[in-house]
Every structure is written in C-alpha cells, then in structure tokens.
Amino acid sequence: MIVRVIVFLIGVLSTHFALGAKYFVGLDDSTTLVLDENTQVLESYKHLNVFIVESKTKPDVKNAKFVTRFTTVDISQKSKEVNSSNEVFVEKGLTWGQQYIKAPQVWGITEGRGSRVLVIDSGIDKDHPEVKNKIAKAKDFTKSKVSPYHPYPEHDISGHGTHVAATIIGDWFGVAPDAQLYVARACEFLCLDQSAIVAALDWAIEEKVDVINMSLGSKEFPLELANHIYGKVEKNNIVVVSSVGNDGKKEGNQIGIPARLETVIAVGAIDSEGNVPEFSSFGPEVFITAPGVNVLSASLTKGINKRDNLMIMKDGTSMASPHVAGVVALMKSVNKELSPAEIRSYLAQTAVQPKENFDRDKYGAGILDAEAAISILHAW
C-alpha cells in the first residue's frame, strides 16, 4: 500500500513539473483563451485579460496578442535615508517639497477629497498616525507569511511604501491630505514577482482608483506585457505616475518600466535649489520633476527603520513621484472626468522650466507646479 502511494505521488509530481515554464498570455477583449491539454492556467487577471499559464514548451495560443516568459526580476528602487530633523527641514508645519510645488496655495480649493490613490509598493504601517485614518483598502499580493516581524499581510517591513504614501495623503507631509489611500503590497525589500505587480494593477481597475503611484521600475519587465496592461489601465481612466530611477550616475543609465511608457508620467528628482541631483535617471522619457532630496515623511512605528519621532528623510526619485501623484489627486478632485492624456497635458503646460541649465532629458517639461495645474482647470 505504501509503495503504491509513493508511486502515485511520484507520478503526480512528475506530471506537474513536466509542465515546466510559466508564461504571461494577453488577449484582446473579444478573444477567448483556448489552450492545449499540456498547458494549464495558474492565474487569471480578468480586468486586464491577462493569464499566467504553465507549459512544457512555449504555448501556442490562437489569437493571443502576446505570449511572453514569466521571469523573476528586481523591480525595486532603493532610496537613501538621510538625517531626519524636524527643526531644520520643516517650517511652519510644511515640508520644503510641499512649499516648493505650491501645494498649500490650492488647499483652499481642494485637498483631494473624493480622489482614490493607489500606492503599489512595500505595503503600509497601519499604526502610523499619518496614514492610519486614510486607508480605504489594503491588500497583499506578495503571499508573504505573517510573523512577529510581519504582523499583518499588508505590513511594510522596509518603510518605503509608508514614506511614499504619507507624502501623498499625510496630514503633516502630504500633498493631497484629504484623498483616500488604497495600498497594494507588491514588494518586500525588493519587488521580485512580476505577477504581484500585474495583480495589483488588475485590482486598481476593480477598485476604480483615480491615480496609481509606482515608485519602482524594471529594465527586464516584458515590453509587450507592459504595453498591454498599462494600456488597459489608461482605458479605465486611471493615471499612472512612476519614478524614473536612481541610476543617473551609472554608465548606461536607462529608465525602466513603467516610467519608460508613453502613457505613464515619468518623474525625476530635484533638490531644494531646483537642481536635478546626479542620482536621478535621465533621458527623453522624463516627463516632469519634483522634490526628491531630503524629503521628510513617515517612518515605521516598528521594525528596522523605526524612528521615535515617526519621521525620516529619504533621497530618491521614489520620493519625487508621490509629489506628482498627490497633485494628480488634487486635479481629479476638482474634475473627476479628466482623462490621463488631459492630466499629462495640463501638467506639462504648467511645469516651470529653470532659467539656467534647463535640460529636457533631465527635467522633462519642467518642475511640478500644483498651483498652476489647479488654476488651469478653472481657466478651462
């Protein structure tokens, strides 16, 4: 009897592992997925019409827009922590970034009420006072195990996602403090699972969010897959904002996905003097720049990046991107029907170009100006 069970299990396992590699399959809306008997569906993302299948050989899917290999890649962007100091960098309760982009000047008109902002990142610290009353929904796509160091599925163990989220919606640090926060945990310290990113974007459509912040990027993410899913996201009137990366000092500097895509607002960094720091990646894909040096925002209440004053400063284009996402939330609050293309147009029209040393590959259209962006909506 024992021998039979062992033989049966070996047969089941060999059948399963014989299938081998995983692939993303993308279909048009009018196309039905038809697979041969040697291919099985592992995951389905209905709003994107994307599937993950497993097959011994590359599957032949009739009428598929694309079939591309599923791989594990680093889709993260590391940020540099710097000394946090409330006294030096905060004046009258405002961060220099909020003041530089003129966010307070529009708060009499809107603080983002009614806008839904999704942060796809490393999760959230639900105990931090800056974010705990702002979270509409949070979901973990990493399939991490809950532990004493990871007390709930969406918990942020790196602090990256919490810092980014508070820059958008925090009462103290935020650009759009009255917006609703949606959290998709797709990363831990690194973002190694392509499917977590895809699942989070599918969820974004389901939840009808207005803007997505993605302070992350990959040079290996399949272009066919990216064009398909971000095209679907835009068709659902969702604006995607993404950091361009921190490879400006590296030879062969290249902007990754999603920032590389035309439908995505690619954000570079500036310092408090309006200069682009050396670390900020550059190229024709840069759309706009925003504060990304000495950015003060929320730290973790527990864990390796815990700060007793609950705040920390970070450098990186990861910190610049949420400033833009916050302004998009303000714009959407004023006019919910604005399309992603219209948002991009208004941001480009109102961006401020430095009088000296203006380089479009570094600044894009220029530096973010919240007051001008909101004003132009009233003009129209």
Q: Is the pLDDT of residue 163 over 70?
A: yes
Closest CA to 190 of 305, 314, 78, 304: 78
CB 229 within 8 A of CB 200: no
How far apart CA 50 and CA 44 sit, in angstroms, is 6
Query: For residue 8, what pLDDT is reported?
Result: 36
CB 75 within 8 A of CB 41: no
Banded pLDDT at 13 (limits 50, 70, 90): very low
**The pair of three-digit structure tokens given for residue 1, joined into one six-digit string:** 């009897």
CB atoms inside a 10 Å sphere around CB 207: 16
What's the chain's average pLDDT?
Answer: 88
Question: Between 174 and 63, whose confidence is greater?
Answer: 174
Query: For residue 43, what pLDDT is reported?
Result: 94
Banded pLDDT at 93 (limits 50, 70, 90): low
Query: For residue 7, what pLDDT is reported?
Result: 36
Residue type, 39: T
Query: For residue 148, what pLDDT is reported?
Result: 76
Query: For residue 4, what pLDDT is reported?
Result: 41
Question: pLDDT tens digit string along 31-66?
Answer: 888 888 888 999 999 999 999 999 888 888 878 899
Give me the residues paired with residue 305 across strands. none
Which is it for strands 211-214 and 116-121: parallel, antiparallel or unpaired? parallel
Residue type, 339: S
CATH of 80-379, one of 3.40.50.300, 3.40.50.200, 3.40.50.720, 1.10.760.10: 3.40.50.200
- Written in H, E and C, the secondary structure of the chain is CHHHHHHHHHHHHHHHHHCCEEEEEEECCCCCCCCCCCEEEEEEECCCCEEEEEECCCCCCCCEEEEEECCECCCCCCCEEECCCHHHHEECCEEHHHHHCCCHHHCCCCCCCCCEEEEEECCECCCCCCCCCCEEEEEECCCCCCECCECCCCECCCCHHHHHHHHHHCCCCCCCCCCEEEEEECCCCCCCEHHHHHHHHHHHHHCCCCEEEECCCECCCCHHHHHHHHHHHHHCCCEEEEECCCCCCCCCCCCCECCCCCCEEEEEEECCCCCCCCCCCCCCCCCEEEECCCEEEECECCCCCECCCCEEEEECHHHHHHHHHHHHHHHHHHCCCCCHHHHHHHHHHHCECCCCCCCHHHHCCCECCHHHHHHHHHHC
Q: How far is CA 247 from CA 28, 207, 244, 280, in A?
A: 35, 33, 9, 6
Percentage with pLDDT > 90 across the chain: 70
CB 20 within 8 A of CB 54: yes
Question: pLDDT tens digit string along 276-313?
Answer: 999 999 999 999 999 999 999 999 998 777 888 899 99
Banded pLDDT at 90 (limits 50, 70, 90): very low
Banded pLDDT at 16 (limits 50, 70, 90): very low
Active site residues: 121, 160, 318
Question: What residues does each domain of the chain span?
Answer: 16-69, 80-379
Question: pLDDT tens digit string along 199-252?
Answer: 999 999 999 999 999 999 988 889 999 999 999 999 999 999 999 999 998 877
Query: For residue 56, what pLDDT is reported?
Result: 84
How far apart CA 128 and CA 20 sit, in angstroms, is 43
Question: pLDDT tens digit string along 325-376?
Answer: 999 999 999 999 999 999 999 999 999 999 888 999 999 999 999 999 999 9
Distance of CA 233 to the CA centre of its chain: 13
**The pair of three-digit structure tokens given for residue 342, joined into one six-digit string:** 């219209």
Query: For residue 5, what pLDDT is reported?
Result: 38
CB 367 within 8 A of CB 288: yes
